[in-house]
A = this chain, B = another copy of it.
């Protein structure tokens, strides 16, 4: 349930005119139309963003205004499984006719049998086999094309809508608000860098060169007389946990001033940016809205082991370090883009 829209308002935003403005229907209407974050309920999370941007624009040089966003669970739905995992599973079905051996070879046999309970128990090694079988062996351009075509028709199992519509409208507003104030917005995803690059410009307004993620090795090969970069079945970089800080530094060479995540995989990114000088915005999306989306992490009681979980220890750290926790249920007036 949204909190009262005026109750939590601090004077920082509108200065000393706040009280007067609250009583003037005209001023209130105007404030609504100019609100850069209209899908956010008034509250500490929204104010953390507004306060940060106000301070950032006066204290941070424009070339240093960098913000990084995790993707799965921070910008779009990650349940019941990561979208990219869904892509990989459906891709196994698509490619199966070319791989008759998969009918008797695990983990492919289980995927082709649609045994969801068994799929949920796949080991990391099993997933790696599925990922390499579906993400390697083609050129970078071909892979982008395959992902683009899949996204055009694939639908989320619960919401029955394209994944690209299950993007969080409040987070799009934050990205846009930061960009309006001179920030470069980057995605720092534990998921596949090239998978996300296939749609990040269209969906988030983030160009390929501002998408940092996990990547597989590529190899320079001559194909049909032309040099192409061919995707290899081998992990090149794991952009999770400490890898998020390392990847951001590798690609950008600067420590961001704002970072957004939602899981233990984002912990070190927030710790690292938090250790920098000056104003730093560190935010975590907490999925506590089973009705409109999902409830997990402290709200849903998932164990502190797997990627994608908002563990109790992460919540403790967030509270101890004054990171801003976004309650999906409380802070978001609206969840999805469409």
Binding site for B on A (CB under 8 A): 63, 140, 184, 193-194, 197, 201, 207-209, 211, 215, 218-220, 226-229, 236, 242, 245-246, 249-254, 268, 271-272, 275
Contact B268 A227 (CB under 8 A): yes
Contact A209 B252 (CB under 8 A): yes
- Which B-chain residue is minimally distant from A140 (CB atoms)? B249
Contact A218 B249 (CB under 8 A): yes
* Cβ distance A300 to chain B, nearest Cβ, rounded Å: 29
* Cβ distance A241 to chain B, nearest Cβ, rounded Å: 8
Contact A218 B246 (CB under 8 A): yes
Contact B242 A220 (CB under 8 A): yes
Known A193-B250, A229-B246, A236-B250; further 15 A-B contacts with Cβ < 8 A: A63-B201, A63-B207, A140-B249, A140-B253, A184-B209, A193-B253, A194-B253, A215-B250, A218-B249, A219-B242, A220-B242, A227-B268, A227-B275, A229-B245, A229-B272
With A228-B275, A229-B246 known to touch, is A208 a contact of B253 (CB < 8 Å)?
yes
Contact B220 A268 (CB under 8 A): yes
Contacts of A226 in B (CB 8 A): 275
- Which B-chain residue is minimally distant from A253 (CB atoms)? B208
* Cβ distance A95 to chain B, nearest Cβ, rounded Å: 24
* Cβ distance A203 to chain B, nearest Cβ, rounded Å: 15
A251 to B218, CA, bound (A): 13
- Which B-chain residue is minimally distant from A201 (CB atoms)? B63
Contact A209 B275 (CB under 8 A): no
Contacts of A209 in B (CB 8 A): 184, 251-254
A242 to B194, CA, bound (A): 19
Contacts of A140 in B (CB 8 A): 249, 253
Contacts of A208 in B (CB 8 A): 252-254
* Cβ distance A265 to chain B, nearest Cβ, rounded Å: 13
A239 to B142, CA, bound (A): 24
A201 to B184, CA, bound (A): 17
Contacts of A227 in B (CB 8 A): 245, 268, 271-272, 275
Contacts of A245 in B (CB 8 A): 220, 227, 229
A229 to B247, CA, bound (A): 11
